[in-house]
Amino acid sequence: MNKDYDVIIVGAGHNGMVAANYLARDGKRVAVIERLGKVGGMTSSGYMIPEAPEHLVTPCAVEIIFMRGTGIIEDLDLHKHGLQTIDPDPSYAYLHPDGSSVALFRDPKRTADDMARLSRSDGRNYLKFMETIDAMMDIGLPMMMADPGRYKFSDITKLLGALIRNRKLRTELTNLASGTADQIACEWFEHPANIALLTNIAGGVGPVDEDGNAAAYMLFGLLHRLGVGKPVGSLQSLSNALASSFESVGGKIHLNAPVQEIVIQDGETRGVKLEDGKMITADVVVATCDPQTAYKMTTPGGIDKRYMTRMEHAPAARNNVAPLLANIAMSKPLSLKRHQELRHDDADLNKAVGLIGTPEEVRENFSAAIRGKLPRRYAVSVSPLNNWDPSQAPEGQSIAYVYLPGVAVDIDGGWDANKDKCMTDALAQVSEFYDGFDSEIGRFVETPPERARRMNVTNGCVVHIDFTSSRAGLKRPAYELGGPRPVVPGFFLGGSGTHPGGGVSGLPGKHAAGRVSRYLKKKR
């Protein structure tokens, strides 16, 4: 039978749009089906505060660190389609309660010097620590870039070369890969502010006391090598550039088109049925949404019960911890109080992401969330969005992206009873560091359950499936569900729940496109 399309992509998030672009450039007839009214998914932005209609709200992410170096930006000519980026330096800064600060610069030596002001040994150790991180990058990046189900000879050669070059660091690499983020920070550094710089950044990935999550420190290597990458006009400009690039090669985007069913009949994928009853046919469906949601949308009985059960049990915020994200619109500029004045150099901390939370506060924050409680003090980051991109708020005013990396998904008493207290306490805490929050004119706040409903994602888990060593590579999202061979002919996954995982990289979409192209070539 003639199909409407060769490939249907379910979800117009950045991974879906990346997959669609590569497939369209490979000559495939591709349609993207999106339930919302615009492209972007978790990389979308908008004017979402009624009291502040000119303040641009970013509900989920603000950076494209991981996408740099993948080749995707260049392959898809995204700069020609409007993508522009800014690289504040320093990109992050830990703000200590006593007014001191530790800045993360593009130059690792300058970062080490900043640490050395507080502890000479910490400054020396940072450069040694970065040797281990660089080794992890040399080994890990080729594995992230390649489809784990189809390593090429060149991929294996790169991996072996990296292992040989870094064989003297084998013990440190093993410790880093298996240790907790908290443990590693305390092993390497002694001053609380330097430890807090690490644990706050690692906390952005999840609880800092889980085995194996010290791999989050690869972010330091990426920031030093690639820069932070803040899109002008928010991440919506990335999504719009991806959509423009896709449409320029003949791709079709269907908005406001929620999928009711991914149709599987007679052991093969047939297409999708929309909630309005319309059937759109294709040889392949790529679900780039939350994979648990995708499996639930398939035709009952279309996928083997064991696989359905395996996906159902894949962890999504299983430890009861997920981020709370808020955008605060203010009528005055947002600026730091004494931390900027106490700087010894020309570093502009007002353009950096401000990290707040001592090591003890970071630990207590995640511990409370796991127990379903609000913490006494929060681990929180503040991104002063219009300080690096004035287009995101009216002149003389400001918009801040306030990120609480670890709150309870299910909280005692429910979020209706806790949301206001959570934000009141968190904003009181950040006001100890920043001037401007007392001029608030409106806010957008999204708890994990609210994100789950708005984005149709299990437990509000922003990375779709939790990061653990047992959920990596071909085992992400679960054993036998992450490989290149689809569990049902024509049905593929391609979102953050697949290799290499979350973050704005586009690599899950790129890998899915390669798998689909090979599948269709064999099929025909």
Average pLDDT over residues 369-397: 97
What's the rounded Cα separation, in Å, for the pair 425 and 431?
Answer: 10
> How does DSSP classify residue 13?
B
Q: What Cα–Cα distance (Å) separates residue 88 from each residue in 91, 114, 231, 350?
A: 5, 17, 11, 10
Burial class (CB in 10 A: 0-12, 13-18, 19+), 414: exposed
Percent of the chain with pLDDT over 90: 87
Q: Does residue 468 surpass a pLDDT of 80?
A: no
Lowest mean pLDDT across 32-36, 40-44, 172-176, 247-251: 172-176
The pLDDT score that the predictor gives to residue 442 is: 98
Q: Does residue 421 surpass a pLDDT of 90?
A: yes
Lowest mean pLDDT across 222-231, 301-310, 461-470: 461-470
What's the rounded Cα separation, in Å, for the pair 106 and 315?
Answer: 34
Q: What Cα–Cα distance (Å) separates residue 57 from each residue in 63, 163, 289, 326, 380?
A: 14, 43, 22, 9, 18
The full DSSP string for 389-433 is: -GGGS-TT-EEEEEEEEEEESS-TT-HHHHHHHHHHHHHHHHTTT
Average pLDDT over residues 286-296: 97
Q: The pTM is what? A: 0.95
What is the number of other CB atoms lying within 10 angstroms of the CB of residue 476? Answer: 27
Residue 364 confidence class, pLDDT cut points 50, 70, 90 = very high
Element (H, E) at 375: none
Q: Across-strand partners of 95?
A: 101
**Token digits for 283?**
């040889």
> How does DSSP classify residue 28?
-
Residue 213 confidence class, pLDDT cut points 50, 70, 90 = confident
Q: Does residue 523 surpass a pLDDT of 90?
A: no
- The full set of domain ranges for the chain reads 5-48+234-315+461-523, 85-226, 317-455
CATH number of the structural domain 5-48+234-315+461-523: 3.50.50.60
pLDDT by residue (tens digit) across 82-97? 999 999 999 999 999 9
The pLDDT score that the predictor gives to residue 317 is: 94
Lowest mean pLDDT across 67-76, 198-207, 229-238: 198-207
- Using alpha carbons, select from 273, 271, 280 the residue that is nearest to residue 259: 273
Q: What Cα–Cα distance (Å) separates residue 421 from each residue in 67, 374, 415?
A: 36, 9, 10
The full DSSP string for 166-226 is: TGGGHHHHHHHHHS-HHHHHHHH--SHHHHHHHHHHHHTTS-TTSTTGGGGGHHHHHHHHH
What is the identity of the amino acid at 183? Answer: Q
The pLDDT score that the predictor gives to residue 391 is: 96
Backbone torsions φ then ψ of 82, nearest 5 degrees: 105, -5
End-to-end CA distance of the chain: 13
pLDDT by residue (tens digit) across 492-522? 999 999 999 988 999 999 999 999 999 999 9
Average pLDDT over residues 109-114: 98
**Token digits for 443?**
């806010």
Mean pLDDT, the chain, whole residue set: 95
**Token digits for 464?**
């779709």
What's the rounded Cα separation, in Å, for the pair 226 and 238?
Answer: 17
Lowest mean pLDDT across 210-214, 260-264, 374-378: 210-214
What's the rounded Cα separation, in Å, for the pair 523 and 490?
Answer: 10
Please answer whether residues 452 and 459 qualify as being in contact, where contact means their C-beta atoms are separated by less than 8 angstroms. yes
pLDDT by residue (tens digit) across 322-352? 999 999 999 999 999 899 999 999 999 999 9
User: ∠ at Cα 504 (501, 507), nearest 5°?
Assistant: 55
Q: Does residue 471 surpass a pLDDT of 90?
A: no
Q: Does residue 223 surpass a pLDDT of 90?
A: yes
Please answer whether residues 386 and 88 qualify as being in contact, where contact means their C-beta atoms are separated by less than 8 angstroms. no
**Token digits for 237?**
């400009």
Q: Does residue 1 surpass a pLDDT of 70?
A: no
Residue 168 confidence class, pLDDT cut points 50, 70, 90 = confident
- In three-state secondary structure terms, 5 is strand
The pLDDT score that the predictor gives to residue 87 is: 96
Average pLDDT over residues 230-239: 96
